[in-house]
Chains A and B, each alone.
Chain A
């Protein structure tokens, strides 16, 4: 059962080949067996899952329910789940039992999906390797010496190792796409505002966006159908009709105009990754697409701009964690200042503290114009680059990450080197565009991803273009050794 995609599971459940309870039990057994080695779950919610599975079976017995009824998924531990620990990968929230559900959780529950548990992640989603988690690093099922990517590393490892058919992720600078690439998955970062951020613990509010992580584009389409939509409780949610994401998967892509930004193929890109991406583009040409070289001239500025804007927003968002109303509180505070400083100092890990400090610094009096305002101006230039490019082409393609997964511990001593691993994903968040990463090959035993960037709200096209590739290639069907 664990080898099936969501689309296959959905059909099998409807035809009663097995029940949701049997399927859920099978997933829970696999988690019990493999999670100790991979560390991809922070919480496993077995009883809750079985109750949901039995309810789904009751619906299915009456021929009711939708595509996800009875299908198990995992939720990134950044989404609040009522009555369940929601840690965000941090000691600060190790004791936090969320008093309400995130909209994304509520929507999956309403769709009849079964939540298996909450997945590990970089602390407060700040990281590209899942090594900043308070709960320890996650291992990549393709090679346990390698990182799974981050920040949605637990979700990626869980789906890659077949410990969940799919999972949710969030993407502030690449946190869905980069782990999807490093674990051989399909991951979609939707247009900013498409998926509600209500109950999704905030890191950088003008960049954060939730999205699906699964094995195929078709599965991502099924998940997006549940996740996307207007939410009155998120002030940046966009009130725009949700298209049928599966309806256009099989459209022909003959004549599709693909732009290859020359800046995404320059120095810093691993030669073998470049070869694999070239081969993927050739596959698209065989399908009738037309390829054109384009330029995104401000690409090199994306990482510096991001490391002003994201920390600035994070320092503001994370000021709510003060040890007073919920979360971690230090022992025996001497006075109120000591309570704040030690609760935060002990509750947050080093990377989170670094980013809060960078944020506090760039927003402080005398530096605001030089850093924060400057970054906002460059953000406009980066966004305009994409606007111009997407007037000439339908989609932009390139690598998701410059290399395959690096080794655990390889980049932990040097934050800047770690930051540069997100060079191709970060600009997309600054512009607010949608982008998908899909499996496109291997270097040795480690997978790599092809990134496809589209215009605002053009998720149907991204899913269509990804699905057409998956119909003629088999990278996405490969399973890591030991997890077949």
Chain B
């Protein structure tokens, strides 16, 4: 399946990725080739097959509802791009 430059822009937006305008044609070409490879899957009829999500197919393990981690806010925020008063700062969201 061939992806157009406008498909690429749409997917990049969905994936929250800024892609430079001059790079879009190369992405369109490479992604089309990858999807071409993926299309080979259609050669097999899988109507009767149960999907396999995971190699182990084990049920999720449960644990007692007890506190196991301590608060390490200062340590974690020491590597953050921008913090103030214990909060992570981002550009203004509400005017």
Residues in chain A within 8 A of chain B (CB atoms): 95-97, 99, 192-193, 206-207, 232, 235-236, 238, 298, 300-301, 303-305, 307-308, 315, 319, 322-327, 329, 333-342, 344-346, 348, 350, 353-354, 356-362, 364, 371, 373-381, 383, 414-416, 419, 430-432
Inter-chain contact B46/A358, CB cutoff 8 Å: no
Inter-chain contact A415/B33, CB cutoff 8 Å: yes
- Chain B residues in 8 Å Cβ range of A333: 90-91
Which 9 pairs between the two chains have the least Cβ-Cβ distance? A432-B55, A345-B18, A376-B51, A329-B81, A377-B46, A380-B52, A360-B15, A341-B18, A377-B49
Given the interface pairs A304-B38, A357-B12, A374-B46, the reply to whether A380 lies near B51 with Cβ below 8 Å is yes
- Chain A residues in 8 Å Cβ range of B50: 377, 380
Given the interface pairs A357-B17, A431-B55, the reply to whether A375 lies near B90 with Cβ below 8 Å is no
24 A-B contacts, Cβ less than 8 Å apart? A97-B79, A99-B76, A99-B78, A232-B63, A301-B43, A304-B38, A304-B41, A325-B80, A326-B80, A338-B18, A348-B17, A353-B17, A357-B15, A357-B27, A361-B3, A371-B38, A374-B46, A378-B41, A380-B52, A381-B44, A381-B46, A414-B33, A415-B30, A416-B37
- Chain A residues in 8 Å Cβ range of B91: 333-336, 338-339
Q: Report, as a range, how many residues of chain B touch the other chain.
A: 35 or more
B34 within 8 Å of A (CB atoms) = yes
- Chain A residues in 8 Å Cβ range of B42: 374
How many contacting A-B pairs (Cβ < 8 A)? 168
Given the interface pairs A419-B37, A432-B55, the reply to whether A322 lies near B16 with Cβ below 8 Å is yes
> How close is A137's CB to chain B, nearest CB, in angstroms?
19
Inter-chain contact A300/B40, CB cutoff 8 Å: yes
Query: In chain B between 6 and 43, which residues have their CB closer than 8 angstroms to a CB of chain A?
Result: 8, 11-20, 23, 27, 30-31, 33-43
Inter-chain contact A360/B51, CB cutoff 8 Å: no
> How close is B63's CB to chain A, nearest CB, in angstroms?
7
- Chain B residues in 8 Å Cβ range of A378: 41, 44, 46, 49
Inter-chain contact B15/A315, CB cutoff 8 Å: yes
- Chain A residues in 8 Å Cβ range of B39: 304
- Chain A residues in 8 Å Cβ range of B18: 338, 341-342, 344-346
Within 8 Å by CB of B19, from A99, A232, A345, A360, lies A345
Inter-chain contact B34/A415, CB cutoff 8 Å: yes
Within 8 Å by CB of A308, from B13, B33, B41, B92, lies B41
Inter-chain contact A354/B44, CB cutoff 8 Å: no
Report the separation of the CA atoms of residues A324 and B79 in the bound assembly, to the nearest whole angstrom: 10
Q: Other CB < 8 Å A-B pairs besides A304-B37, A340-B16, A356-B15, 14 of them?
A: A193-B55, A301-B40, A308-B41, A326-B76, A326-B80, A335-B93, A341-B17, A345-B19, A373-B51, A374-B46, A377-B50, A378-B41, A378-B46, A380-B50
- Chain B residues in 8 Å Cβ range of A376: 51-53
Determine the residue in chain B with the shortest Cβ distance to A353.
B17
- Chain B residues in 8 Å Cβ range of A319: 16
- Chain B residues in 8 Å Cβ range of A206: 53-55
Given the interface pairs A304-B41, A348-B17, A378-B46, the reply to whether A99 lies near B34 with Cβ below 8 Å is no
> How close is B34's CB to chain A, nearest CB, in angstroms?
6
Report the separation of the CA atoms of residues A413 and B15 in the bound assembly, to the nearest whole angstrom: 23
- Chain B residues in 8 Å Cβ range of A336: 90-91, 93
- Chain B residues in 8 Å Cβ range of A337: 16
> How close is A131's CB to chain B, nearest CB, in angstroms?
15
- Chain A residues in 8 Å Cβ range of B60: 235
B71 within 8 Å of A (CB atoms) = no
Determine the residue in chain A with the shortest Cβ distance to B77.
A325
Determine the residue in chain B with the shortest Cβ distance to A328.
B81
> How close is A54's CB to chain B, nearest CB, in angstroms?
27
Report the separation of the CA atoms of residues A96 and B72 in the bound assembly, to the nearest whole angstrom: 16
Inter-chain contact B33/A416, CB cutoff 8 Å: yes
- Chain B residues in 8 Å Cβ range of A193: 55-56
